[in-house]
Amino acid sequence: MATKPYFSKVLVANRGEIAIRIFRTCHEVGIGTVAVYSEADRTAPHVTTAHHAYPIGQAPARESYLVTERIIEAAQKSGADAVHPGYGFLAENADFAQAVQDAGLVWIGPPPDSMRLLGDKTAARKVAVAHDVPIIPGTGQPVRTLKEAVGAGEEIGYPILLKAAAGGGGKGMRVVENPQELESSLKMARSEAVSAFSDESVYIEKYLAHPRHVEFQVMADSHGTCVWLGERECSVQRRHQKIIEETPSPALTPDMRGEMSEAAVRLTLASGYQGAGTVEFLLEGDRFFFLEVNARLQVEHTVTEMVTGRDLVLDQLSIAAGQPLEYGHEDVQPRGSAIEARIYAEDPDNNFFPSPGYINHLDAPSGPGIRHDCGVAVGSEVTLHYDPLIAKLVAWSPDRTGAISRIRRALEEYQITGVTTIVPFLREVMAHEAFQSGDYDTHIVSRIMEEKESQVTQHAFIAAVATTLFHAQKSDGFATGQANGSSRQGPASRWVLEGRELRGWQK
């Protein structure tokens, strides 16, 4: 841990658990902290955690957390000398990063030029190709017309994936199974891309049927050093967004890990990147393909911290202050296994739709190897204005089996009421044989949901049969004991129920 502060005061242009996470590191090294808040967050925990707090607008993010001028004004009023973006909101917005620097403040993140380069997925693919990093077959640039898209689909081969060039998080993404679906899917992908990123550009990739999502954490300073800090398996997703992450990935061999980490470092250095970043890959079998770079700290950075013992926020502060990294590849020795479960206020039985409301009870688990990064407290309101992530539960153990057992125990102890959360579903995933074996891919959530629906259907059918037979016992058409005590087989040996034949049923 550093013994002197790199800055006198840091403003965090974010909210919730990530703002609190950054404040904690700043406080440990003697750096003053500044929170910003919307009207909806006036009493939020991140506001009371910081040394200073400034209002920046109304509840909608477009009127507060996405307004560059108000955030910079708050930084200047507070006397902050640096801005940390957290993740989400403006974290990967190169124009915001440039505005922070133009205002005479230090940007705790990658250079704006690197963000622009890597934020454009087609440009990032070109960098990957130029530096021998495998990419998924696809178009080298956005498709401009339907005719171009049709030609690309024929050349690549269906199914294909339409992807917004300017962003991520599953927005502006559509799987197209055949040419007949292409026109409507292209329109929808472009519409989503405009809404999410103000850019309708869409490019095409080959759709991988059973991929795993594996990302590599990198840290690069301004002196030409780039270090990777292990990988994270992020294949447990709904709507292309992660809900469980673990490190190390159970899918990688030592050779694969070495090859992928070298590719991640090559790409990072080639783009002039600085700070914390994540190079993401899709893995199918023993082949890997570059997916994208997340030019920021990731939600799941916690598992990397648990196995490496590094404070990634502290490294960000050091790099932003112009300091060289004090460690190299040989100094990073990941130990044990860590798993993160994201606690979302969502209803899994309603297609993971957000569940707004007030937290009226919260009792988080603790114990050896448990970490709980939380952005709410009793009385906090979960609104539809922001992402419904309310906390992250992390477990560490010397091995993967122990980490699974530990986080399952912690999830059983987790108590939160007032909003519906995905905690029960997380327990189901952790108990599922595919997750426990480590043999799963990005479709694991949809498969579990399908299994649940199938079980519900089966149970309903069995209940219907039982009810019908129960009532049939009382009817004249069913074989019953006669007055003299004798019994016989009646017409119940063959039943027809709702179009299904139930043969051989015997009393």
Q: Tell me: the pLDDT tens digits for 389-398?
A: 999 999 999 9
- The pLDDT assigned to 154 comes to 95
Note the pLDDT tens digit of each residue in 442-499.
Answer: 999 999 999 988 877 666 677 777 777 766 666 655 444 444 444 444 444 333 444 4
Note the pLDDT tens digit of each residue in 115-158.
Answer: 999 988 889 989 999 999 999 999 978 999 999 999 999 999 99
Determine contact, residues 357/419, Cβ cutoff 8 Å: yes
Answer yes or no: is 153 within a domain.
Answer: yes
State the total domains in the chain: 4
Average pLDDT over the chain, rounded to whole? Answer: 91
Residues 67 and 39 in one domain: yes
Type of residue found at 196:
A
- The pLDDT assigned to 170 comes to 72
Answer yes or no: is 49 within a domain.
Answer: yes
Determine contact, residues 83/54, Cβ cutoff 8 Å: no
- With cut-offs at 50, 70 and 90, classify the pLDDT of residue 227: very high
Residues 468 and 412 in one domain: no
- With cut-offs at 50, 70 and 90, classify the pLDDT of residue 244: very high
DSSP character for 132? T
Residues 229 and 202 in one domain: no
Answer yes or no: is 116 within a domain.
Answer: no
Residue 29 sits in a domain whose CATH number is 3.40.50.20
Domain with 356, as residue range(s), is 212-449
Residues 234 and 102 in one domain: no
Could you say which of 206, 228, 262 is where a domain stops? 206
Residues 241 and 323 in one domain: yes
Average pLDDT over residues 426-434: 98
Pick the catalytic residue from 296, 310, 400, 408.
296
- The pLDDT assigned to 417 comes to 97
Residue 184: partners with Cβ closer than 8 Å, 6 or more residues away: none
Average pLDDT over residues 389-408: 98
Residues 394 and 260 in one domain: yes
Residues 299 and 423 in one domain: yes
Note the pLDDT tens digit of each residue in 300-309.
Answer: 999 999 999 9
Answer yes or no: is 117 within a domain.
Answer: no
Q: What is the pTM of this model?
A: 0.85
Rounded Cα distance, 109 and 222, in Å:
11
Could you say which of 150, 185, 206 is where a domain stops? 206
Residues 258 and 331 in one domain: yes
- Give one DSSP letter per residue of 223-273, joined into a string: TS-EEEEEEEEEEEEETTEEEEEEES-TT--HHHHHHHHHHHHHHHHHTT-
Residues 199 and 217 in one domain: no
Residues 370 and 469 in one domain: no
Average pLDDT over residues 416-432: 98
- The pLDDT assigned to 443 comes to 96
- The pLDDT assigned to 168 comes to 67
- The pLDDT assigned to 1 comes to 46
Answer yes or no: is 376 within a domain.
Answer: yes
Average pLDDT over residues 407-428: 98
Rounded Cα distance, 69 and 443, in Å:
41
Note the pLDDT tens digit of each residue in 37-50.
Answer: 999 999 999 999 99
Residues 445 and 458 in one domain: no
Rounded Cα distance, 275 and 367, in Å:
32
Residue 293 sits in a domain whose CATH number is 3.30.470.20
- The pLDDT assigned to 240 comes to 86
- The pLDDT assigned to 122 comes to 82
Rounded Cα distance, 12 and 108, in Å:
10
- The pLDDT assigned to 507 comes to 32
Q: Which residues of 300-319 are buried (b: 16+ CB within 10 A; e: fewer)?
A: bbbbbbbbbebbbbbbbbbb
Widest Cα–Cα separation across the chain: 102
DSSP E strands: which ranges in 91-240? 106-107, 160-164, 174-176, 202-206, 212-220, 226-238
Q: Range with the lowest mean pLDDT among 20-29, 189-198, 294-303, 359-368?
A: 189-198
Average pLDDT over residues 268-291: 96
Type of residue found at 118:
L
Task: Please say if the pLDDT value at position 71 is more than 80.
Answer: yes
Could you say which of 88, 108, 128 is where a domain stops? 108
For the question of residue 296 being annotated catalytic, the response is yes
Higher pLDDT, 460 or 26: 26
- The pLDDT assigned to 478 comes to 46
- With cut-offs at 50, 70 and 90, classify the pLDDT of residue 5: confident
Answer yes or no: is 123 within a domain.
Answer: no
Rounded Cα distance, 389 and 387, in Å:
6
Residues 263 and 396 in one domain: yes
Answer yes or no: is 70 within a domain.
Answer: yes
Answer yes or no: is 327 within a domain.
Answer: yes
